[in-house]
Amino acid sequence: MADEFMNKVASYDDKYDPKLAARYTELATFMRAPYQLDVTGLDIAMLGIPFDGGVTNRPGARHGPREMRNQSSLMRAIHHVSRVNPYALCKVADVGDVRFDHVMDNERAMADIETRIGQILAAGAMPLSAGGDHSVTYPIFRVLGREQPVGMIHIDAHTDTWGEIQGSKFNHGSPFRLATEEGFLDPTRTIQIGIRGPQNSPEGWEYSHDKGMRVVFIEEFDEIGVDAVIAEARKVVGDGPTYISFDVDGLDPVYAPGTGTPESGGISMREAQKLLRGFRGLNLIGGDVVEVAPPFDPSGNTAMNGATLMYEILCLLAEVRAGAGS
């Protein structure tokens, strides 16, 4: 039976499904999904944002989308816990990378990202992005939050609510401050999970607190446990439109050494997967996995874990979209 199933994929017509072929074959796309630059008719558009002009420490996240595509070849279709098959529920495609006209100019690069996300949203699709450094989430919010400020579940070692750094406000430490100040992010519907590590200034922590964001430091995460953090996140974001942003430095460096600003004592992969699975049924409108920097992890494990988290978010988005369309 298994041989009969596998033999059905060996064709050169439009019935060929790369997800059913041997995982080492074909060109690498996110989760082996079809590659489709035209976003028309898609439910979920997976895209790469190869930009790391906003990093304050180690560069390399510009290579994240390419290696996450490669490692995501390991992903199969059906989730072993929820039994969700996102490709059966929705039309999903890899829509390529954001194409930059001004990649050396941070402000104009943000506009390039905003343009592509705008095309995806105008086509009625949900964006699921692979960064890139965390500054890329700011222009995503500029599109998603145009009609009303959105809520956010943010997993990270850092709050990313700092101000200008080294002469630029467009950096990976400031996206959620910018999005809040410009009215695209609702801070009272924002939870930041896994925050840790020393800073030279408490500015970011204090900004998040003063604006009403719920900040869960890693010590509280450990003390109350994953289930309680899930419950807290669901209470904070409520039933309004919500975005998930996962910075891989939220993971312990054992699981994600290949990142620009690693912090010891982080979340494990099993905790991260359980956390994301706890957000089923929320009003999700998109998501991203950022800060995978392959040059700092020759093993490829960081990119594999990043792709795994991306798949978890994909399953969540597919359920939302399928429910909205039913």
pLDDT at residue 112 is higher than 80: yes
Q: What is the pLDDT of residue 141?
A: 98
Q: 115-163 pLDDT, tens per residue? A: 999 999 999 999 999 999 999 999 999 999 999 999 999 999 999 998 7
Q: What is the pLDDT of residue 21?
A: 79
Q: What is the pLDDT of residue 265?
A: 98
Tokens of residue 176, six digits: 């959620």
Band the pLDDT of 326: cuts 50, 70, 90: very low
Q: Map residue 137 onto helix, strand or coil.
A: helix
Name the residue with higher pLDDT: 12 or 270.
Answer: 270
Length of the chain: 326
Give every strand in the sheet of 185-195, ordered side by side. 92-97, 44-49, 126-131, 284-290, 242-247, 150-155, 185-195, 214-217
d(CA 7, CA 10): 6
Q: What is the pLDDT of residue 244?
A: 98
Q: What is the pLDDT of residue 192?
A: 98
Burial 174-183 (b: 16+ CB within 10 A, else e): bbbbbbbbee
Q: What is the pLDDT of residue 173?
A: 77
d(CA 127, CA 136): 13
Q: Is the dihedral of CA 323, 285, 46, 25 positive or negative?
A: negative
Q: Map residue 40 onto helix, strand or coil.
A: coil
Q: Map residue 15 onto helix, strand or coil.
A: coil
Q: What percentage of the chain has pLDDT greater than the value 70?
A: 96
Which of 243, 246, 296 lies closest to 275, judged by CA?
246
Chain centroid, CA 269 distance in Å: 15
Band the pLDDT of 8: cuts 50, 70, 90: low
Q: What is the pLDDT of residue 18?
A: 76
Q: What is the pLDDT of residue 23?
A: 84
Burial 224-246 (b: 16+ CB within 10 A, else e): eebeebbebbbebbeeebbbbbb
Q: What is the pLDDT of residue 3?
A: 47
Q: 89-99 pLDDT, tens per residue? A: 999 999 999 99
Which of 162, 64, 170 lies closest to 111, judged by CA?
170
| Distance linking the first and last C-alpha atoms of the chain | 33
Q: What is the pLDDT of residue 200?
A: 86
Mean pLDDT of 264-275: 98
Q: What is the mean pLDDT of the chain?
A: 92
Q: 26-71 pLDDT, tens per residue? A: 889 999 999 999 999 999 999 999 999 888 889 999 999 999 999 9
Q: What is the pLDDT of residue 54?
A: 84
Regarding pTM above 0.85, the answer is yes
Q: What is the pLDDT of residue 209?
A: 97
pLDDT at residue 324 is higher than 80: no
Beta bridge partners, 304, equal none
Residues 6+ apart with CB under 8 A from 75: 31, 32, 307, 308, 311
- Asked if residues 91 and 40 have their Cβ atoms less than 8 Å apart, the reply is no
Q: Which helix (H) or strand (E) holds 157?
A: none
Band the pLDDT of 205: cuts 50, 70, 90: very high
* CATH number, domain 26-325: 3.40.800.10
